[in-house]
Amino acid sequence: MFADDELALLIKSKYPVVFVESVDEQHVIVHLIQIAQQLNLNYYEWSVTNGLRRKYLKDAYYETQEPVKALKTILDLKDPSAQNGDALFVLKDFEKNLEDAVVLRLFKDVINVISNTATTIVILSSRYKLPPEIESCAAHIIAGYPTEEEIISEANATIGAYCKNHKATEVRLTPEEEERMIAALKGLTTQQVKNVVNQCLVEDGIVDGKMVPRVEKLKKDIFDREGLLEFCTPESNARIANFSNLKRWLAERKGTFSAKSKLPAPKGVLLMGVQGCGKSLAVKVIAGELGLPLYRLDLIRFYSKYIGETEQNLRKALKTIDQLSPICLWIDEIEKNFASSSDGDIDGGVSMRLMGTFLTWMQERTSSCFVAATANNIYSLPPEFLRKGRFDEMFFVGLPDQKTREELFSIHISKRGLDSTNFDCASLAGLAADFNGAEIEQAVVSALYCSTSRREKIKTDHIAAEIKATKPLAVVKSEDIAALREWAAGRTVPA
Ligand SMILES: Nc1ncnc2c1ncn2[C@@H]1O[C@H](COP(=O)(O)OP(=O)(O)OP(=O)(O)O)[C@@H](O)[C@H]1O
Ligand SMILES: [Mg+2]
């Protein structure tokens, strides 16, 4: 369901107050006017600059820029003897005024008068904030994201307007490219859709397949700026050594996210295990194999000074995720994002509540979002995440065996533009017995630096020397790794 339908439902369901959080005020206003029309409500709008006005009337009620006057006017309008009919009052940025005791008192009076009637007060603002006593009788909704049809019409209108002034503009999109373009524009506000399309048009005036990656790049910039979700690049299957069980699991589920698929799409996997063994890389491969755009949710970045805002940020991000879906949602080191319940007291229970919000979302979401989470330290991972049914599968990622290490050397040598068949990968793998993938990569990179500085052509010996000079993490932390392996046996599937 789209946020705008939800908005109509909330207003219809007779909540006295609905808080609409949106960065796209204009878009929401257009919808509110439509909703008022459909539900036969008189539409009023208030802002601190214009005061309270009835729709289609130019003049505001006398001196209603003043919040106290505005609320008194609403009380007068709602006086039963006035018989004015039910109404929708849209108050822009009104939440700030509720810090004032007189305003708050009057606002409660208004609520008392309108509760159990079809009249609703909508507070429209870009930031959610309500005093607790109002919060209990208010609904909160994040709105203003256009539907797919609206995205198409907005993009077409923007291109149309540009074509009018620039006769040379060409539009060449195959149906598949068009689909990808719409996917790339999802999750943006109407204004952002317009801006992104315009920016691409100004750059080279042709609408074709090449525009899709540019739109994706601009969207990534917007997301990075807003700090809610990070847009990441998926990887191909060939970039990762081993992970044969995961690869098979994915191959069986490929295509379940397409609209044509009859099979239910999987919900998610948890990858846990030893550091540097490719968990994060595997998530990128998952997105690549399932053909889904990849977004990373980083709650650690969310923890803000204002305790309440972290939860709000999470709710907002989850809403955006539902809008963007189908996507692959990556939560790296999930145990750090949702600290264990025993830490609950330290941060006033915030991480507990965040986890609750997240788990509820995981359980109840209807959007097709694939959650790929990684964990290093299963001991600090709240047990709620391990309960059956949260993830379709839990994979354990252990240290690479001889064959995998050979493959790792081959992959990382080729990645640097060298021919791996010129190297003795088998003997290197034998030397690097306790190495993880990251350490093998590091040995190849260091050898490359060393040989370049000596003006020598890189050979097996250079890499072997680097291996001998490294003390792998597995040796330093052998006890930890053994404990982890023991824990995983029987609980997880090897990746
Ligand atoms: N199986 C693998 N195939 C190819 N490269 C690998 C593999 N495992 C590790 N690497 C290399 O090591 C680097 C680090 O791996 P990655 O970050 O995915 O490990 P991780 O398990 O997420 O580690 P951490 O627990 O420290 O986050 C990768 O960028 C990749 O180049
Ligand atoms: Mg990682």
Residues 353 and 212 in one domain: no
Q: What is the pLDDT of residue 341?
A: 45
User: Closest residue (by CA) to atom 10 of ligand 1?
Assistant: 437
Q: Which of 368, 397, 426 is the last residue of a domain?
A: 397
| 272 found inside a domain | yes
| 158 found inside a domain | yes
Q: Hey, what long-range contacts does 25-34 have (CB within 8 A, 24 or more apart)?
A: 25/92, 25/124, 25/126, 25/144, 26/190, 26/191, 27/144, 27/146, 27/189, 27/190, 27/191, 28/124, 28/143, 28/144, 29/90, 29/124, 31/4, 31/7, 31/143, 32/7, 32/88, 32/90, 32/122, 32/124
Q: What is the pLDDT of residue 257?
A: 87
| 485 found inside a domain | no
CATH of the domain at 166: 1.10.8
- Closest ligand (CA of 407): 1
| 425 found inside a domain | yes
CATH of the domain at 374: 3.40.50.300
Q: What is the pLDDT of residue 428?
A: 97
| 470 found inside a domain | yes
Residues 120 and 269 in one domain: no
pTM for the model: 0.70
Residues 275 and 387 in one domain: yes
Closest CA to 372 of 257, 243, 283, 240: 283
Q: What is the pLDDT of residue 315?
A: 84
Q: How far apart are CA 277 and CA 4, in angstroms?
A: 44
User: Closest residue (by CA) to atom 13 of ligand 1?
Assistant: 438
| 95 found inside a domain | yes
Residues 364 and 244 in one domain: yes
End-to-end CA distance of the chain: 36
Q: What is the pLDDT of residue 2?
A: 44
Ligand 1 centroid to Cα of residue 280, in Å, is: 6
Residues 176 and 298 in one domain: no
Ligand 1 pocket, residues with Cβ under 6 angstroms:
240-242, 275-281, 374, 376, 408, 411, 437-438, 441
Domain range for 188: 148-226
Residues 296 and 437 in one domain: no
Residues 238 and 196 in one domain: no
| 183 found inside a domain | yes
| 82 found inside a domain | yes
Ligand 1 centroid to Cα of residue 4, in Å, is: 42
Q: How far apart are CA 141 and CA 20, in angstroms?
A: 5
Q: How far apart are CA 199 and CA 104, in angstroms?
A: 44
Residues 222 and 189 in one domain: yes
Atom of ligand 1 nearest to the CA of 243: 1
Q: Which of 113, 142, 171 is the last residue of a domain?
A: 142
Residues 258 and 359 in one domain: yes
Q: What is the pLDDT of residue 412?
A: 96
Choice from 281, 374, 396, 416 to test ligand 1 binding pocket (greatest atom count within 8 A of CB): 281
Residues 310 and 457 in one domain: no
Ligand 1 centroid to Cα of residue 437, in Å, is: 5
Atom of ligand 1 nearest to the CA of 439: 12
Residues 357 and 455 in one domain: no
Q: Which of 341, 370, 397 is the last residue of a domain?
A: 397
Q: What is the pLDDT of residue 255?
A: 85
The total number of structural domains in the chain stands at 4
Tens-digit pLDDT string for the chain (495 aa): 344 577 888 898 878 999 998 877 888 898 899 999 999 999 999 999 999 999 878 788 988 999 999 999 999 998 777 778 899 999 999 999 999 999 999 999 999 999 888 999 999 998 888 998 898 889 988 887 788 888 899 899 988 888 887 776 778 888 888 888 888 898 888 888 988 998 888 877 788 888 888 998 888 888 777 667 887 888 888 899 999 999 999 999 988 888 788 888 899 999 999 899 999 999 999 999 998 888 899 877 766 555 567 777 888 888 888 877 889 999 999 988 886 545 445 566 777 788 888 988 998 888 889 999 999 888 878 888 888 778 999 999 999 999 999 999 999 999 999 999 999 999 999 999 999 999 999 999 999 999 999 999 999 999 999 999 999 998 888 888 888 888 888 889 999
Ligand 1 centroid to Cα of residue 240, in Å, is: 9
Ligand 2 centroid to Cα of residue 146, in Å, is: 34
CATH of the domain at 466: 1.10.8.60
The residues whose Cβ lies within 5 A of ligand 2, an ion, are 280
The label of the residue with tokens 């439509």 reads 34
Ligand 2 centroid to Cα of residue 282, in Å, is: 9
User: Closest residue (by CA) to atom 4 of ligand 1?
Assistant: 240
Residues 285 and 387 in one domain: yes
